Every structure is written in C-alpha cells, then in structure tokens.
Structure 1
Amino acid sequence: MDDLVKEVIPLLQYLIPGFLTAWIFYSFTAFKRPDTFGQIVQALIFTFIIQLLVGLIEALALWLGKHVYAIGMWTPTTKSLWSGVVALALGGLSCYFACNDRLHSWLRDKGITKKTSHPTEWYSAFTGFQRFVVLHLVDERRLYGWPLHWPTEPKEGQFVIQDPSWLDEKGAEIPMAAEIFTIDASRVQWVEFTEKNW
C-alpha cells in the first residue's frame, strides 16, 4: 500500500496543474464541460504545455544562476510552485483568448480558419453584435430590449432583458413597468438584432 501511495503522489503532483488550468477555463468561459474522458484529455494537453513551459523556465533559471546570479537551488518544491504559477497564467490566458476572439480573428485574417473562439454561432452573434434585440416568442408576441445576459445555447437557459417593452403589430413600443425582464429561452423562436445600440 505504501508503495502505491509513493507512486500516486508524484503522478498527482504532475497532473494537478493541468486539471487546475482546465478547471479555470471551463469555470470562466461559456464552453460546456466535455464528458469525463474529454476533461481528462484536456487536462493532459494542458499538463503537457505546462511541463514544457516549466522546463523552459528551469533551463533559463539554471543558465541565469550559472552565468549571471544565483538566487537559490532549483528543487522539486520550486518546480511545483512554477507549475502552479504557469497553470494559473495559462488558464487565465486561455480564458482571455476564448472570450474576446482576437486569436481566431487573426487566424481568420490569415485564412487558417473560418471559426470563432466562441462556443456556438448563437453565442458569437450576441458577443459580436452588441445591440438591442427583438425576441420573437412562440406565442407570436415580440419583446424588445437590451440583452444583459443570454443563454449559451438557443434552447437552454434564460434571457435577461434590460429596459424591456412589448412591440405591437406596427412596431411601436409598449413599455413595461419592470427594469429587468427574464424569459426562458425555450419560449423564443428567433432573435432579431436591431440597428440601435448604445
């Protein structure tokens, strides 16, 4: 039993930074968590990247210690600390690029991809066209307002509409007394993005 524990602990220390990065990514982006196998694969990919970066940091630190100035020894504790720092930074950086579409935009400009960094085209439309919307409901009513929050998927979750109003047959606004209105996404047939924005 003791031998098994001695083998498992170093393996966990090796893998935990990758799992930490994956947890950060799925906690702070609109992407759905994959199944357990997919999460393990993602964590292993992040672990590989983290270990590669920590190896580069170690080589640089040892070179600086030998040729410039030595601060201390490179120990397993130092490696663990750097793994945690790199895991946090990689998680934050991956969230940054997944949420703002800058990397995918650059790749689209180069003709490498046609995809966005957003999880769905639905989500991409809301982040790319920040403007007032008209929600066409299944009962043929129309709700107009500013989408404060919207669901990641078209059929799950709720819309949170700020400054809501109903639209009559001619498109005239009938203001509501509410400042915020929440409606289930399953009640919405389609969404119309108006020209009006802030």
Structure 2
Amino acid sequence: MTTSRAATDPALRVLTWDVMASGGYETCWAEPGADTLRARGRAVGLTPEPYWISYTLETGEGFVTRRLTVTAETAARTRTLDLRRDDAGRWTADGERLPEVDGALDCDLGLCPLTNTMPVLRHRMHRERGEREFLMAWVSVPDLTVRASRQTYTHLARTGGGGGRVRYASGTFRSDLDLDADGFVLDYPGLARRLTAR
C-alpha cells in the first residue's frame, strides 16, 4: 500500500486550478513555510497555442524569489528558463543579466495563479488593510520571455475562513482575487478558479 506525501506531510498543499485564460489546467504541490515557499507545478493550455509547462519555484525569507525554473513545450519547440535573483536584488535569465527587473522581489509566471501568493503573504494583503505597488519579473507563457511588470495589490475585505479579497491591477487590467487563509488563489476572475476533489 502506498501513502501519498500529501497525506503524511501536513505542510504540503496540492492545488489545482481551471485556468480559463489559457483554456487549460494547472496543478502544483506547494510547501509554505513560516516565511518561505517552495512549489512545483505543471500546466497545460490552448491559448495562445497548445502547450504544456512544468516549473519549480523557490523563495528565500520574506517569500522573496530565489529561483524559478520553467520548461515549456509546444508542437514547434521546447524552451527552458532558469530565472534567478541574488541577495543584492540582481536578476538573471539563463545566466544573462536582467537589469530592467533589478530590485524586484518576485517572479510572476504568466497564467499561473500560484505566483500571486508571494506578495500577498509578505504583506498579509489577504488579512490587513493596505495597498502596495510592486515591480515583478513577469514571465510570458509559453515563450518564456521575461519582462518588467508594474503591479498593484489592494486589500478589499476579509472573507470567511480567514481568507481575503485583494484587487490586482497591472496597466488597464483589474481583477478582484479571492484568497484562502494561506494566501493561495481561490478565484481569479478572468484567469483561474480553484478546483476541489469531489
């Protein structure tokens, strides 16, 4: 008889989303600590073209990104990305410097609701009033191009079970995210909705 790790490790969260924005799904295994987050996940999508990706994420203290590795496969090709942030706040992609995102604390993997979690947890945005502006190292899917992205998170309300509602804004895009007590996305209108086992 095999026992699943999720059943034996209470810190491990298994999260699955219906990602409407891509016409696909994502599942990740997340290990939140008191001040850190590790995760690995896989996703499939149809938009902007059929693809599948796998990723691993590691943060340091304060939920600050240390490393994101991504593999994306389409019918035409396979791409990989090794995105890293050092202790001085400098970013590299596959060893090449990315000065346009220097100083950013977080990566943001496109079409991935998991990567909204780090800034929320760092500033307790799902539980405490406030508005924060961030510079993100945003990764486009499936081409894995890294760009600087300015984003704003605003606490809107506490919700049942210790969760909260947070408004995400970037450019002209706005969406009000529902988050659980651990800061993980339950509902991201226009992008994804979490699924539960029946």
Higher helix share: 1
Q: Normalising by the residue count of structure 2, what TM-score does the alignment of the two structures yield?
A: 0.24
Higher strand share: 2
Q: Which protein has the larger Cα radius of gyration, Structure 1 or Structure 2? A: 1
